[in-house]
């Protein structure tokens, strides 16, 4: 990845190979999209019992959104990555899915709830970008609507030089995924190496993404600027499978 390749574009460039393995790899690591969506639904309903609509921004492959569709009368999704949105479209026929940036998207209506999961909010280049995104997310809420945001690592949680590894076997296919995370100033640079073995041979590639290490106070300030009250809840499944290094979920209500 060169300096000319900007932050938001790092996820947008994830291609069909990465997208093909996304759900498989994360589920094999213990991630349960359905349980997570149910947990978030309960959080939303505890603050807005009549909530009937939801927008999932940075919806990825639509795994969470498919579950949300069981609990809400109307759902829509937004993502910046065409390949991810392609998977979501096949999974959710008839659901409005928009290819767009969380800072600038406009769905043309208000929702009872909006979610932004997968630490996508941290994959913005600056605090100003993050504030713009939070404001745009909140602007899609009705008064009293609920906004749930999964942050990235806070600065004191990040382990510089961390190496992660995972191997999964599935129907004759073997997938190796190795990550290396390093701190560069106020952000983390994460390298992801895939090696896939199948009957037709071996293939491998490396993807990168950048994650800003925003502080908890910076997030809270952004919610306040977006006219939302907010609390940070301790949710052990956020940001991977290590409950001791989980940043939790911001749950906000539009005033």
pLDDT of residue 240 exceeding 70, the answer is no
Please list the residues that pair with 169 across neighbouring strands.
174
β-pair type (74-79, 53-57): parallel
The string of DSSP codes covering 9-34 is HHHHT--HHHHHHHHHHHHHTT--HH
Average pLDDT of the chain to the nearest whole number? 92
Q: How confident is the model at residue 75 (pLDDT cuts 50, 70, 90)?
A: very high
pLDDT of residue 177 exceeding 80, the answer is yes
What pLDDT, on a 0 to 100 scale, did the predictor assign at position 11?
Answer: 59
The pLDDT tens digits of the residues spanning 77-99 come to 999 999 999 999 999 999 999 99
pLDDT of residue 139 exceeding 90, the answer is yes
What pLDDT, on a 0 to 100 scale, did the predictor assign at position 16?
Answer: 85
What pLDDT, on a 0 to 100 scale, did the predictor assign at position 3?
Answer: 41
d(CA 48, CA 39): 14
* Domains with residue ranges and CATH for the chain: 7-155+213-254 (3.40.50.150), 157-211 (2.20.130.10)
The pTM of this model reads 0.93
Q: How confident is the model at residue 1 (pLDDT cuts 50, 70, 90)?
A: very low
What radius of gyration, in Å, describes the C-alpha atoms of the chain? 18
Provide mean pLDDT across the span 207-229. 96
Percent of all residues in the chain with a pLDDT value above 90, rounded to a whole number:
86
What pLDDT, on a 0 to 100 scale, did the predictor assign at position 5?
Answer: 47
In 45-127, the DSSP E strands lie at: 53-57, 74-79, 96-99, 111-116
More confident call, 7 vs 154: 154
Provide mean pLDDT across the span 60-86. 97
What pLDDT, on a 0 to 100 scale, did the predictor assign at position 132?
Answer: 98
What pLDDT, on a 0 to 100 scale, did the predictor assign at position 164?
Answer: 92
CA distances from 235 to 126, 245, 249 (A): 25, 10, 6
Provide mean pLDDT across the span 197-211. 94
What pLDDT, on a 0 to 100 scale, did the predictor assign at position 116?
Answer: 98
Provide mean pLDDT across the span 169-184. 96
Provide mean pLDDT across the span 48-66. 98
Tokens coding 69: 């569709």
The pLDDT tens digits of the residues spanning 12-22 come to 667 788 899 99
d(CA 69, CA 35): 14
Provide mean pLDDT across the span 59-64. 97
């Amino acid at each position: 990845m060169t300096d000319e390749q900007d932050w938001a574009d790092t996820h947008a460039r994830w291609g069909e190979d990465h997208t093909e393995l996304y759900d498989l790899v994360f589920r094999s690591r213990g991630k349960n999209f359905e349980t997570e969506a149910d947990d978030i639904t309960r959080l939303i309903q505890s603050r807005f019992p009549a909530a009937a609509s939801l927008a999932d921004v940075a919806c990825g492959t639509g795994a969470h959104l498919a579950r949300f569709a069981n609990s809400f009368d109307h759902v829509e999704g937004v993502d910046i990555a065409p390949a991810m949105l392609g998977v979501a479209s096949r999974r959710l026929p008839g659901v409005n899915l928009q290819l767009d940036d969380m800072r600038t998207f406009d769905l043309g209506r208000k929702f009872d709830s909006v979610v932004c999961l997968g630490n996508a909010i941290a994959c913005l280049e600056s605090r100003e970008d993050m504030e713009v995104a939070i404001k745009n997310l909140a602007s899609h809420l009705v008064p009293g609507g609920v906004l749930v945001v999964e942050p990235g690592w806070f600065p004191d949680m990040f382990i510089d030089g961390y190496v992660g590894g995972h191997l999964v076997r599935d129907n004759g296919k073997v997938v190796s995924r190795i990550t290396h995370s390093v701190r560069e100033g106020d952000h983390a640079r994460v390298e992801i190496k895939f090696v896939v073995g199948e009957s037709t041979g071996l293939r491998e590639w490396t993807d990168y993404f950048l994650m800003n290490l925003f502080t908890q106070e910076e997030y809270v300030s952004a919610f306040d600027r977006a006219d939302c009250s907010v609390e940070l809840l301790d949710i052990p499944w956020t940001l991977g499978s290590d409950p001791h290094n989980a940043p939790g979920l911001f749950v906000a209500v539009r005033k």
